[in-house]
Amino acid sequence: MENSLPLNVFHIKKTQLVINRLHTFLHGITLLPLFYYRITSLTAIVKTWDKSTFFPQFLLLISELILSFIWLLAQPSKWKPVVRTVYPERLPGDEKLPSIDVFICTADPNKEPCLEVMNTVISALALDYPPDKLHVYLSDDGGCSVTFRATKQAWNFSNFWIPFCRKYEVKNRCPEAYFLREENSEYPGKCDGSEFLVDKKDIEERYEEFKNSLAKIAADTSAYMSKDHTSLIQVISDEHGNEIVSDKEEMPVLVYVAREKRPSHPHHFKAGALNVLLRVSAMISNSPYILVLDCDMYCNDPSSARQAMCFHLDSKLSPKLAFVQFPQQKFYNISETDIYDGQLRYIWVGFRYFAVVEDVFTGFNLHCDGWISVYIEPSRPCFLGASPITLSELLVQHMRWNVGLNQIAMSSFSPLLYGPLRMSISQSMCYAEFAHSPLYFLSLYILALIPQLCLLRGIPLYPQDMVEQQRIWMMKSLTSYLYATFDAIMEKVGLRTASFLPTNKVVDDEQAKRYQMGIYDFQVPALFMVPLCTLYILNVASLVIGFGRILHSQKGNEMVIQTFIPLFATVLHFPLFEGMVLRKDKGAISKSVSLVSALISTVVLFCASFVS
């Protein structure tokens, strides 16, 4: 009988949707005057053919076009944000669940430590899924005896680890992470009693033994990676002579696979390894679903497979569903950067070799063929990966990804060409955003060089009236708008009647002269000048103090971006500085205004230091 309750639901994040769309709209609107200015000034330059300004303006136009292009491509992915929730407890009984093959790839024991790889293998073996329906395949692209021997040790340890996890419903089934973080408190019900403490001590000792055995293997086995060897496929089983667990629980299958490699034959890296696993698993377990993991991505939540089944067994989704994707920015080893990806895919496409980002490319092809995918971000991350922790590793990793993205962008599979006929425009745009993101380099080089060189040569690239507009708008906002609001409120509550003060049309010669020369006339009532001068002094003071802090304190880095605002204000309103300090003419800011402003600023600064 069909269960009437849904296995999964999704909600549109309405507030996020409104914010995103508003942002798209506002950003889009602001781009228009920028391009209008760029194009009109370029046409004017073309008419006079002034080479010194044409090239910088033209390069800036290119840079802004690229940035706007990628910005535009990024919009569909923000258009309709959704959250998905799954109900694994509504899944049919274990006997009705389909079987799963887990693929784990490793390539090089020198770069991917055996202990880490084996932890991933063990966490996959310990998934909360019927053991007769779970098969874990480890592809060893290095074909190293170290990895092979370590796999056997991992199997031996799992024979104790898995029953322990099942008995105490351990949530974190990656042993290294479990012993590191002591998560028992999550399940106080199961994990108090003295029996637990005895069992835990026992399993902890076994884990130490396991680690020692790996260290021993590493010490006396060669980590040589042959590029010329036949294949080795072995279903790992209990070896004769090993301690036999008396009441042995049922275990999943673990298979070690080192594919054949020949120097003359391209092996296609991870995609090649995955396709070999597809063929090998077809002979052994041939499960309809596969879970693909990198060797550094351990299972952090044993229910991930069941969570994915909430989509695959949903009769509305399943006919078209190619894969379930879990979030890509969850790491166990980092502070705040980078990417991992754990995916469940149907056996269909084999994995595409074409580019070194086989994950993006395979996903793209599946979507082009009419398959759909779902993305789920549970509050407890299902998988945790390792991210590079040195700049060098990070830059190399991103270079590989971007080589792959460029391979796609520059081919006939370019998402904007290949996609729109096969999938929706918005979906093509999402892939195109990825594929074209390497182009950022061009924009950034232009922006990092051209305005700077033009500044040295005295060539203006942005409209002059933009500066004036900004400056006057700020002056008006800080004074006229403020007082106008007060006035209106006072009038509303009957404390004052509104009046129409006509603007002065009498022209003073000196004032007219200054106006013609573009010099500000600061003969303005103190009521207007004092707030402006006070805020200016405060901004300058905070800039100076802030810079000092950045140079002298360790946490200074956090403050860098924050100095941009006072820096901008200081530069934009430089005429106020001239008016207070440098100018001596009649239009300068009066001494009394400067003095009062300086006094108020000091009081504010004093109070601020008092508060902190």
Ligand X SMILES: O=c1ccn([C@@H]2O[C@H](COP(=O)(O)OP(=O)(O)O[C@H]3O[C@H](CO)[C@@H](O)[C@H](O)[C@H]3O)[C@@H](O)[C@H]2O)c(=O)[nH]1
Q: Which of Mn ion, ligand X, none does residue 433 bind (CB under 5 to 8 Å by kind)? A: none
Residue 150 touches ligand X, criterion: CB under 6 A: no
With CB under 6 A, what is the number of residues at the site for ligand X? 22
CB of 273 to ligand X, least distance (A): 4
Question: From the list 76, 109, 112, 164, which residue makes contact with ligand X (rule: CB under 6 A)?
Answer: 112
**Shortest Å distance, C-beta 180 to ligand X:** 21
How far apart, in whole angstroms, are the C-alpha atoms of residue 376 and residue 1? Answer: 27
Q: Which does 359 bind (CB under 5 to 8 A by kind): Mn ion, ligand X, none?
A: ligand X
Q: Which of 101, 128, 301, 341 binds ligand X (CB under 6 A)?
A: 341
Cα 392 to Cα 399, 487, 504: the distances in Å are: 10, 61, 66
**Interatomic CA distance for residues 183 and 178, integer angstroms:** 7
Q: Is 407 exposed, middle or buried (0-12, 13-18, 19+ CB in 10 A)?
A: middle
| Residue 464: half-sphere exposure toward Cβ, Cα within 13 Å | 3
138: enclosing H helix or E strand: strand 134-140
In the complex with ligand X, the residue whose CB is nearer, 128 or 358, is 358
For ligand X, the closer of residues 191 and 232 by Cβ is 232
Q: How far is the CB of 580 from ligand X (least distance, A)?
A: 56
Residue ranges in contact with Mn ion by CB under 5 A: 294, 296
Backbone angles phi, psi at 129, to 5 degrees: -155, 150
Contact 63, 446 (CB under 8 A): yes
Residue 256 interacts with ligand X (CB under 6 A): yes or no: no
Binders of ligand X among residues 72 to 111 (CB under 6 A) are 105-107
- The enclosing H or E element of 9 equals strand 8-12
> Can residue 146 be called a binding residue for ligand X (CB under 6 A)?
no
185 contact partners, CB below 8 Å, separation of at least 6? 191
- Stretch in the footprint of ligand X (CB under 6 A) among 192-200, 350-358, 414-422, 566-574: 350-358
Q: Min. distance of Cβ 17 from ligand X in angstroms? A: 29
Question: What minimum distance in Å lies between the beta carbon of 362 and Mn ion?
Answer: 17
- Binding flag, residue 344, ligand X (CB under 6 A): no
d(CA 13, CA 80): 8
Choose among Mn ion, ligand X, none what residue 538 binds, the Cβ cut-off being 5 to 8 Å by kind: none
Compute the distance between CA of residue 529 and CA of residue 280 in angstroms, rounded to an integer.
80
Residue 434 binding ligand X, by CB under 6 A: no
* 294 is an interface residue for ligand X by CB under 6 A: yes
Given CA atoms 339, 342, 347, 350 in this order, what sign does their dihedral have? positive
Does residue number 138 form part of the binding site for ligand X (CB under 6 A)?
no
The item of Mn ion, ligand X, none sharing an interface with residue 338, based on CB under 5 to 8 Å by kind, is none
We find the least distance from the C-beta atom of residue 112 to Mn ion, in angstroms, to be 9
Residue reference for tokens 């962008």: 409
331 binds ligand X (CB under 6 A): no
Site string for ligand X, 378-397 (x = CB under 6 A): -------------------x
Q: Is there binding between residue 147 and ligand X (CB under 6 A)?
A: no
Residue with smaller CB distance to Mn ion, 128 or 140: 140
Query: By C-beta, is 294 or 433 nearer to Mn ion?
Result: 294
Quick check: 121 binds ligand X (CB under 6 A)? no
Minimum gap (Å) between residue 225 Cβ and ligand X: 10
Residue 357 binds which entry of Mn ion, ligand X, none, with Cβ cut-offs from 5 to 8 Å by kind? ligand X
255 lines the binding site for ligand X (CB under 6 A)? no
Choice between 381 and 404, CB closer to ligand X: 404
Contact of residue 107 among ligand X, Mn ion, none (CB under 5-8 Å per partner type):
ligand X
Long-range (24+ apart) CB contacts under 8 A made by 576-584 are 576/532, 576/533, 576/536, 577/536, 577/540, 579/520, 579/522, 580/533, 580/536
Please say whether the beta carbons of 168 and 210 come within 8 A.
no
Please report, as residue ranges, which positions from 509 to 528 form the binding site for ligand X (by CB under 6 A): none
Helices assigned H by DSSP within 93-144: 114-125
- Residue with smaller CB distance to Mn ion, 252 or 404: 404
Phi-psi category of residue 268: left, alpha or beta, with phi > 0 → left and psi -120 to 50 → alpha: left
Q: Which helix (H) or strand (E) holds 163?
A: helix 145-168
Q: Is the CB of 294 or the CB of 433 nearer to ligand X?
A: 294
Q: Token pair of 239, please?
A: 């070896």
> What tokens were used for 331?
């790491």
Quote the crossing angle between the two packed helices 564-572 and 526-552, to the nearest 10°: 140
CA-wise closest residue to 105 among 136, 126, 135, 129: 136
Please identify which residue in 277, 357, 366, 593 interacts with ligand X, judged by CB under 6 A: 357
| Apex 255 CA angle, 253 and 261, nearest 5 | 165
Nearer to ligand X by Cβ, of 112 and 433: the residue is 112
**Which of the stretches 20-28, 293-301, 457-465, 488-496 binds ligand X when contact is defined by CB under 6 A?**
293-301
397 binds, among ligand X, Mn ion, none (CB under 5 to 8 A by kind): ligand X
Q: Does 295 bind ligand X (CB under 6 A)?
A: yes
Contact between 273 and ligand X by CB under 6 A: the answer reads yes
Report how far residue 21's alpha carbon sits from residue 241's, in angstroms, rounded to the nearest whole number.
66
Please report, as ranges, the residues that interact with ligand X according to CB under 6 A.
Answer: 105-107, 112, 139, 141, 269-270, 273, 294-296, 340-341, 356-359, 397, 400-401, 404
